[in-house]
Amino acid sequence: MKTWFVPYMKKHWRGLLLAACFSVAALLCAAGLLFTSGYLISRAAQRPENILMIYVPIVGVRTFGIFRAVFQYAGRLFGHDTILRILSEMRTRLYKTLEPAAFFVRSKYRTGDVLGILSDDIEHLQDIYLRTVIPAVSALMIYAFWIGLLGYADGSFAFLTALYLLILLIIFPAASLLWTGRSHERLSRSRHDLYEKLTDAVLGAGDWVMSGRQRSFLSSHEALESQVVDEERRLKAMRRWRDFISQIVIGLCVISMVYWTGNMVSDHHMDRTLIAAFVLAVFTIAESLVPVSEAVERYPQYKDAFRRLRNLETNRFTNLQEASEEIWENTSEHMDIRADHLFYRYTEDDRWAVNDISLDIAQGQRIALIGRSGAGKSTLIHLIYGALVPDRGRVTLNGTPAHRIGSLMSKQISVLNQNPHLFDTSVINNLALGSEKATKEEIMHAAGLVGLHDLITGLPNGYETQMHETGDIFSGGEQERLALARILLRKTPVVILDEPTVGLDPITEKELLSTIFRTLEGKTLIWITHHLVGTEKMDQVIFMEDGKIVMAGKHDSLLKTNSRYRRLYQLDVPEHLKKVLSGPAG
Amino acid sequence: MPSLSMDREIFTYKGARRLFALTALLTVGQGICIIFQAIFLAGLVSGLFAGQSVSAIGSRALLFFAALVCRYFFVFLIKHFSYRFAERTSSDMRKKFLAKLFELGHGFIRGQGTGTLVTLTLEGTAQIRQYLELFIPKMAANGILPLMILAYVFVEDRLSALILLITMPVLIIFMILLGLAAQKKMNDRWASYRVLSNHFIDSLRGLATLRYLGLSKLHQKSIERVSDKYRVMTMGTLRLAFLSSFALDFFTMLSIAFVAVSLGLRLVDGHILLGPALTVLILAPEYFLPVRELGQDYHATLDGREAAHKLNALASREENDHTQGDLIPGTWSDHSVLAFEESSVDYRDGKQKKALDSINFSACGFEKIGIIGASGAGKSTLIDLIGGFLGAASGSIKINGRKADLTDAKWRRLITYIPQHPYLFSASLKENIAFYAPEATEQQITGAVRSAGLETLVSQFPKGLNEKIGAGGRQLSGGQEQRVALARAFLCDRPILLLDEPTAHLDIETEYELKEAMIRLFQGKLVFLATHRLHWMDQMDRIAVFKEGRLAEIGTQSELLQKDGSYRSLVRSQLEGIQ
């Protein structure tokens, strides 16, 4: 709340106040319309000699009638404009917060679509301004105005009314907040539970169906659901009673107004034409205070959003240093990567994710990195990319520690990963993200190299086709190819391939790999792979286990000397099948 | 303005008609109270105006107050009854929907997406409740209250009634016209809207890619710029959209002003008395109140109506008409035969091509059958067909020579299904393993853990078998997930095993180790294994090669290798080196 609410209030209080003022003005016009109407017909009932005597109230009635709508309209527009400005600032802020953790966001929060939730949170926070701040502030202003007006006529009655209306302005909202706060908390906990359990069950629906145990799940779900329903019913009933009592409070307010004006008139403190005026206006005024309860009651609903956003700011992947040396501004021709007794662990009491690794990769070398999940391949890659700072030892690019190169690393190393993101824009824009300097010819050339030019020109709008319109046209392998074209445009000396072929069928995989190897000729390749298909093209095959290198060498020599490697290679390329193929068919 | 004709469906829900009758009755009561409240209040004010003393008006004040309390009590009752109806109806809809979902499982979910279904069940039900809760009372209020008030005003003062009567259609026409104009503008700009509103979440999702491209810092500017553009565009539309409520306000207030002025002018002439004039003036805002309230929750009710349509449509969806088969045998033995005769399966999206096209083959006893072919050749569809996740469009399936319906729950109880990514529930490891056999003893579970090669993992967990795994607990690697699935299969020991590409995504060492455990599991079972990985074929008795939905060949590996057919060319294209 401190960081995601107060600063915006401070910055935009003028806009919000203006919006509140407009809505107050609109309400006062509505009240004014009834006030002047009441006065008008009372004055008319006295049958004045000259019609001009009621000319002013007639004009007043019409003016108030017209301006009510104008003010309301202006207030809503102003309010929304201010809130959209705040929203835009909050989005930038969220982006800025997440940006340093770019590589880790996905792995840090695995449950659900965290990014979607965060983006929704920000959308929800506009309600705090629209439905809580503005209505509460306007109600407060109306209250002050009305008490001031009454005080002008009769101080003690104004004082009593002020106290009485506090029921609507303070007591009901506070009681609602107290009463429903815990209820809301319970509700949001149960809802969360329900959401998780149901998601879990739907994801595992196949298993429920196959096990024949659906009924037991459904009944446990209904039990949980009925808790939520009961709580909601209680809340609803509470609101119903509150609305009912509020109306009675208003009714009593009107009656007290009738008696007060009656007394004032009989004591000759007030003209009798004002009785109707005050009595009619008090309805509108008192009713404008009712929404405060609802506005305040919303508060617990914002809490979760605030909590999630606050948690974000405590992550440890803060901004890495920017490069100090100018040479990194330009893409190098030649890159020597050297790791020297490298150690890294994620937390103090964790085991070493990377445990004493030394590597020497000269420009143009091709390395395959193989290992079980959790063996430390990705950590090693993050260290080389400079996204993590080694705990011990060092990893250098042309002699400079990798993490010191900071965001300029993207000019030296490109990454092709498992699910390259294709942005919701045209095909050509997606490709152009590779290099801002690339001409259309260069882009089309790159698309040609990865074998997509014909496919793209065959689309309804060619290169200008919007990604979302292509739907399923781009298969998994083709999406990788698009990302590859993007990388070709970057012309970096080093490319990291992070399992780009997982999930592709063997033939698509092989075609993609041969395109990758062909187009990236001459570049240093560091390839994380789970199969041994294609390792014969590598200068070195490295097996990692528990953060260490346990086996390394060229494919041919490993195949000859290492029985473990031979055994594994059998799975990818069964030898007896190969033999049969070399013979004739029967 | 919500179009009332589109909501006929609401009256098909149980208790809707009764609720409508009750609400109508209570609304009439409310209308009477509104009129009396106005009469008594006007009486109070005109009495004081005429010089009555404050002490003389006590009884009228009491009557006014009684009318007011009654009025809001009626409102209270209407809200109470309609909430009860909405709660019951939306709960029923949810129950029906969930039952369907867990009856059909798999095939149903695949077409929809988990997120959509969960949101529809939880938030959709809440939206439906809100819609049902608001719709009937609002309809009743709009149909009854303005008419009652107008009738009374007509009796008191015809000119005022005329003003009110004329305003209503003018107001509604303007609201509709402006609403349509705003909608048109929205539609015209729909494409740009979509891009702008998606831009932020798209950027967040692509954050890693942007960083790799060295654009992530720069992109911050583009977020600011796009957000600003979005604001300007939204404001452009809102300026028009708010006009419709502007029209509502404008005409209501103007109409009240006209009524007041015309009353004033006629009071001067003495054509009307203060009492009735005041009553009319008090009733004028009440006349417009229902219409004004109608617009308030308009969007909420739209969402609810949408959700109700979707939920009902999905809940009443019939899967392919299952050819009613004979009773499924409760067991599978050495002599049992499962035969497919001319079986076809259509694509879900109604494409011309068939997912499976006239398949003929049979599997008997505890055969191991490898299913192989390019992506989209129909491997997974066949597995789904055997598992009963979808029904065949044509042809027949026979068990032991008698027609059978494989979507039968009894058939499912013979099958273990292991997909590429077995789902682990957010529960303890033990509960996950015993999912198919909740009554298993500790000993049996330990046995399954041993057979699946999970012992080392269990010993690493501080809580051993009781360690929580899945979304709410410890994350397991792909290989470990697969081992949990194997343990499940060992434990429930069902005679038929379906595997859909169980190892393709795993690293080669993990695959190698898993293979040993899997081969143990295959013993004494009828196995269907769909995969791209050729090494599995050595363990299979027969290989079925699929090509574009058709069964291209079937036979033992050596038979197929002898022929120069689909299998041989598949093997060749996979094994030739990378160019």
The per-residue pLDDT for B370 is 96
Please indicate, yes or no, if residue B290 is contained in any of the structural domains: no
pLDDT recorded at residue B321: 47
| Inter-chain CB proximity A585 and B568 less than 8 Å | yes
pLDDT of residue B287: 96
In the listed set B443, B464, B492, which residue is the last one of a domain according to the structure? B492
CB atoms near residue A456 (< 10 Å): 24
**Lookup: tokens for A25:** 């003005």
DSSP output for A131-165: IIIHHHHHHHHHHHHHHHHHHHH-HHHHHHHHHHH
Q: What is the DSSP string of A425-439?
A: SBHHHHHHTT-TT--
Question: Per-residue pLDDT averaged across A30-47, rounded?
Answer: 94
Tell me the Ramachandran region of residue A420: left when phi exceeds 0, alpha when psi lies from -120 to 50, beta otherwise. Answer: beta
Q: What is the pLDDT of residues A89-148, one digit of tens each?
A: 988 988 888 888 777 765 544 445 677 777 788 888 888 888 889 999 999 999 999 999
Shortest CA distance from B559: residue in chain A = A586
Cβ of A64 and B438 within 8 Å? no
My answer on whether B95 and B167 are in the same domain is: no
Query: Residue B111: what pLDDT?
Result: 66
Where do the domains of chain A lie, and which CATH numbers do they carry? 6-312 (1.20.1560.10), 331-582 (3.40.50.300)
Return mean pLDDT, chain B. 88
pLDDT > 70 fraction of chain B, expressed in percent and rounded: 95
pLDDT at A572 (0 to 100): 87
Q: Are residues B385 and B526 both part of a single domain? A: yes
Chain A residues with CB under 8 Å of B408 CB are: none
**Chain A partners within 8 Å of B260 (Cβ):** 33, 36-37, 40-41, 61
Task: Say whether both B11 and B151 belong to one domain.
Answer: yes
Q: What is the pLDDT of residue A467?
A: 82
Tokens representing B234?
Answer: 């939204």
In the numeric block, the tokens 């790159």 are attached to A446
| Domain span at B67 | 1-157+296-318
**What confidence tier does A558 reach under pLDDT thresholds 50, 70, 90?**
very high
B199, B314: one domain: no
Spatial separation of the C-alpha atoms in residues B163 and B150, rounded to whole Å:
10
In a domain, B224, yes or no: yes
Q: Does residue B265 sit in the same domain as residue B187?
A: yes
Collect all residues of chain B within an 8 Å Cβ-Cβ radius of residue A108.
none
Q: How far apart are CA A111 and CA B307, in angstroms?
A: 25
Rounded average pLDDT over A277-282? 94
User: H or E stretch including A358?
Assistant: strand A354-361
pLDDT of A540: 95
Structure tokens, A142: 């109306």
Asked whether residue B395 is assigned to any structural domain, the reply reads: yes
- 187-246 in chain B: CB under 8 A from chain A: 194-195, 198-217, 219-220, 223-224, 227-228, 230-231, 234-235, 238-239, 242-243, 245-246
Residue (of B477, B411, B414, B465) closest to B440 by Cα position: B465
Q: Which among B253, B265, B509 has the least Cβ separation from residue A372?
A: B509
Position B119 in a domain: yes
B241/A322: higher pLDDT: B241
Q: What is the pLDDT of residues A437-483, one digit of tens each?
A: 899 999 999 999 999 999 999 888 899 988 876 556 688 889 999 99
Q: How far apart are CA B119 and CA A78, in angstroms?
A: 33
Rounded to an integer, what distance in angstroms lies between the CA atom of residue A146 and that of residue A150? 6
User: Same structural domain for residues B49 and B119?
Assistant: yes
Q: Specify if B280 maps to a domain.
A: no
Together in a domain, B167 and B257: yes
Contacts of B110 (CB under 8 A, 6+ apart): B348
User: How many structural domains comprise chain B?
Assistant: 4
pLDDT tens, position by position, B248-283: 899 999 999 999 999 999 999 889 999 999 999 999
A236 interaction partners in chain B (CB closer than 8 Å): 83
The interface predicted TM-score of the complex, written ipTM, equals 0.85
Last-in-domain residue among B464, B492, B520: B492
Whether the predicted pLDDT of B543 surpasses 90: yes
Same domain? B123 vs B187: no
> How many whole angstroms separate alpha carbon B57 and alpha carbon A257?
13
Residues B92 and B36 in one domain: yes
Specify whether B436 is located in the same domain as B332. no
Written as six digits, the tokens of A214 are 């659906």
Q: Is residue B312 part of a domain?
A: yes
Within 527-556 of B, beta carbons closer than 8 Å to A belong to 532-535, 538
Q: Is residue B276 part of a domain?
A: no
For residue B349, give the CATH number of its domain.
3.40.50.300
Contacts of B104 in chain A (CB under 8 A): 209
Q: Which chain B residue lies closest to A436 (C-alpha atoms)? A: B215
Which residue from A minimizes the CA distance to B247?
A69
In this structure, are B404 and B326 located in the same domain? yes
Phi, then psi, of A111 in degrees rounded to 5: -80, 125
pLDDT at A242 over 70: yes
What are the pLDDT digits (tens) for B460-478? 999 999 999 987 788 888 8
In whole angstroms, what is the distance from residue A322 CA to residue A305 CA?
A: 32
Task: Specify whether B11 is located in the same domain as B121.
Answer: yes
Q: Is residue B541 part of a domain?
A: yes
